[in-house]
A and B are shown apart, each in its own frame.
Chain A
Amino acid sequence: MKEIILQCSNVSAGYNKKNFITDLSLEIYKGDFLCLIGQNGAGKSTVLKLLSSILKPYSGEIRLRGQNILNIGHKKLSSQMAVVRNINGIIPDFLVKDFVSFGSFPHGRALSKIKQNLCSEIIKQTGIDDLSKRIITTLSSGEFQLVQIARALLQSRDILLLDEPVSNLDYRHTVEVMNLLKEFNHQGTTIVCAIHDLNTALNFCNRIVALKKGKILFDGKPEELNNKLLEKIYDIDFISIKNPVTGKLMVSPLQEVTKKYHSNKE
C-alpha cells in the first residue's frame, strides 16, 4: 500500500467567485511522477496553486500527510514542498548561487556552513556549477529552469510542484530538465507537474491526470491513454503509435481529421 502524501477531497476553487475547479478529488502517492495535462484553461495551474496553498479552495480540503494545508504555517509547508513557476515582471540581478541559496529560507538561518555545503552540493548535482557566478537575468530559459529546480530541490526534496517546466525549452533542454526530475524522482522526490507537451509527459512520468473544464477526465498510467480519451480531452483527433525504441506511446494530433471532427460537430 502506497503512502498518500497529498490529498484533495471534493475541492472547488476558482477566481473572482467563479468556479474553475469543481468537486475535484485527487490522491497523490509518495514517489509519483504525476503530469497534469489538458487544454489551456482546463485547470492545471489552478490545481498546482491549490496544492501549494497559493489559492484557497471555496470548499473541500487539501491535506498534506493528513493535515489540512491551510493549518500548516508557510515555513513548515515550504520546507516539505517546493514550487517552480514562471517568475513574471522584473527580476533582480541575483547571482545564480545566491538565488539557489534562497531555497534554504524555510530551514532557518542563512550562511551556516552546512547550508552552504548543501547549496554547493545541489548546484553540482543539477549540473549548473559553471553557471553559479552568472547573473540570473543573463541566463537562457533552459538554464534558468535548471537553476529554479536547483533552488526548489534545496528547499525540499520531498515534493516538487512544477508549472510548465519545459514550455519554452528546446528539445535538448527539455530532455535535460525532465531527466533531472526523473533522477530525483527515483531518489524519492514526489513530482507533480503541469505540462503541455504530451509526448514529454508520456515519456517521463508514471502517472497522468487529464483535466477538462476543472474536472478529472482520466487518471492512470501513461500507457492506458488512447486516441479516444485524447480526443475527449482535447476535442481533436489523434493518432498514437508505440515508440519502436522505448516502447512508450507517441501521439500526434491529426489536422485533416480535425477539420472533419469540427464539421461533424457543426
Chain B
Amino acid sequence: MKKTIVFFTLLLLSAVSIAIGISLGSETINPIKIFYNKSDLLSTEIITRLRLPRVITAFISGSSLAVCGVVFQSFFRNPLADPFITGISGGAALGYAISVVLAIPPHYGIFFSIGGSILAIFILSSLISNFSGSTSSFILSGISLSFIFSSCVMLIFAIAKSESVHKIIIWMMGDLNSANNAAFSIYLAPLFILAIWSFHRHIDLISLGDDFAKTSGVNPWEVLLIFLLTSVLVALSVLMGGIIPFIGLMIPHIIRPLSSSLTFYSIPFSALCGGAFLVICDSISRSIISPYELPVGVITGLLGGLFFFMTIFRQRSTSE
C-alpha cells in the first residue's frame, strides 16, 4: 500500500516537473493556454519543437542515470558508486570525443561511447578485485579513472583544434541542448531500463556479495549481461546529456528508504524521481540567467554536492 502511494506520488511529481519544464525558459508559456488556444502558433512551435523534445530528453537521461546509480551501488556494494564518480561516464565521454574528432557520424559515435563505458567498467572491476574492494580504494580508483579519461579528452581536444571543441566542452559539462546528436538514445534508453529491471532479483542477490549471488543461483554470464546493459545505458545517457554529475548517486539514496531496498521497486521509483529531478534542474538552468543558459551539470553538481555534505554530516551526527 505504502509503495503504491510512493509510486503515484512520484508519477505526479514527474507530470508536474514536465509541465514546469515546458512552461519555463526565456519566455514563460502556460501550456494549458496553448491547449485551449491553438491559434498561438509561435508558442505552440516553441513547445512542440523546442521544449518538449528537450524535456523528454532530460527526463529519460535523468531516469537512465538514476537507474545506473541503483545498479552500480548494488554491484559494487558501495553507497558512493554512480556513473560519474566511478569514471564510467568519463569513459563514455572519451569514446564519444574520439568519434567527434575522427568526424564519425553521431549514429556510429554511440558505439565508441559504449566501448568507452565498457572499457571503464572493466578497468574499475579489475582494480577493485585487486584492492580487496574497500570503500576508499573503490573511490580512489574511480576518481583516478575519471581524471585519466578527462585528461585524455583534453589531450584529444588540444590536438584536434576543431571548431566543434567548444560545443563538446559545454556538452561534457552536462548539456541537454545538443540532444539531437543522439535522438535514437531517447528510444533505446527506456528499453535498456526495462531490460535491467527484468533482472531485479539478480541485482538484489548481487548486492549481498559475489559468493552469496553465486550460491543462490545467479550465473556469471547473467552478472556480465547486467553489467553490459548498464554500461550501454550510461553511454546512452552521456550521448543525451553529456556528463551530468551526482544524479546516479543522489536519487538511489533518496529512494532506498521508500522501496525497502528491493530493486523491483527502486528501479522504477528512481527512474521517475531521477527524470523529474533532471527536468527541474534543466528548467532552472534554462531560466536562471535567461536568455542565456547554464550547463545543467552546474545545477546538478551544486545540488548533488550539497546533498553529499548533508549525508556526511548526518552520518557523523548518528555515529557520535
Binding site for B on A (CB under 8 A): 52-54, 73-75, 77-79, 81-83, 85, 87-95, 98, 102-103, 105-106, 110, 135, 155
Which 4 A-B residue pairs are closest in the complex by CB-CB distance? A106-B217, A78-B217, A83-B215, A92-B261
Q: Which residue of B lies closest to A49 (CB)?
A: B211
Considering only residues 136-188 of chain B, those with a C-beta below 8 Å from chain A are: none
What's the interface size class on B, roughly? Answer: 20 to 34
Closest residue of chain B to A107 (Cβ to Cβ) is B217
Q: Which residues of A contact B256 (CB under 8 A)?
A: 92-93
Kindly list chain B residues whose C-beta atoms are within 8 Å of the C-beta of A98: 260-262
User: Contacts A74-B219, A78-B217, A94-B261 given: A102-B205 contact, CB under 8 Å?
Assistant: yes
- Given A73-B219, A93-B256, A94-B261, A88 and B209 touching (CB < 8 A)? yes
B52 at the interface (CB under 8 A from A): no
Within the complex, what minimum Cβ distance (angstroms) separates B286 from chain A? Answer: 37
Which single member of B79, B212, B214, B218 contacts A87 (CB below 8 Å)?
B212
Across the interface, which residues of B come within 8 angstroms of A110, CB to CB?
201
What's the least CB distance linking A84 to chain B, in Å?
9
Are B215 and A105 closer than 8 Å at their CB atoms? no
Instruction: For B218, give the chain A residue with the smallest CB separation.
Output: A74
* A94→B216 CA distance, assembly (Å): 16
B207 sits at the interface (CB 8 A): yes
How many angstroms between the C-alpha atoms of A180 and B36 in the bound complex? 70
- Give the contacting residue for A105; candidates B216, B257, B261, B262; CB below 8 A: B216
In the complex the two chains form, is A93's CB within 8 Å of B260's CB?
Answer: yes
- Pick from A52, A90, A103: contact of B77, CB below 8 A: A90
> Could you tell me the distance between the alpha carbons of A78 and B212 in the complex, rounded to whole angstroms?
11
Tell me whether B204 is interfacial, beta carbon within 8 Å. yes
Alpha-carbon gap, A237 to B241, bound state (A):
70
Which of chain B's residues have a CB closer than 8 A to the CB of A74? 214, 217-220
* Given A92-B208, A155-B217, 20 further pairs, Cβ under 8 A: A54-B215, A73-B219, A74-B214, A74-B218, A78-B215, A89-B133, A91-B208, A92-B207, A92-B256, A93-B256, A93-B257, A93-B261, A94-B260, A94-B261, A98-B262, A102-B204, A102-B216, A103-B216, A106-B217, A155-B216
In the bound assembly, the distance between CA atoms of A54 and B218 in angstroms comes to 12
Is B285's beta carbon under 8 Å from chain A? no
**How far in angstroms is the closest Cβ of chain A from B71?**
13
Task: Decide: B261 and A78 in contact? CB cutoff 8 A.
Answer: no
Say if the beta carbon of B86 comes within 8 Å of chain A.
no
A169, chain B: closest CB distance, angstroms = 20
Say yes or no: is B78 at the interface (Cβ < 8 Å to chain A): yes
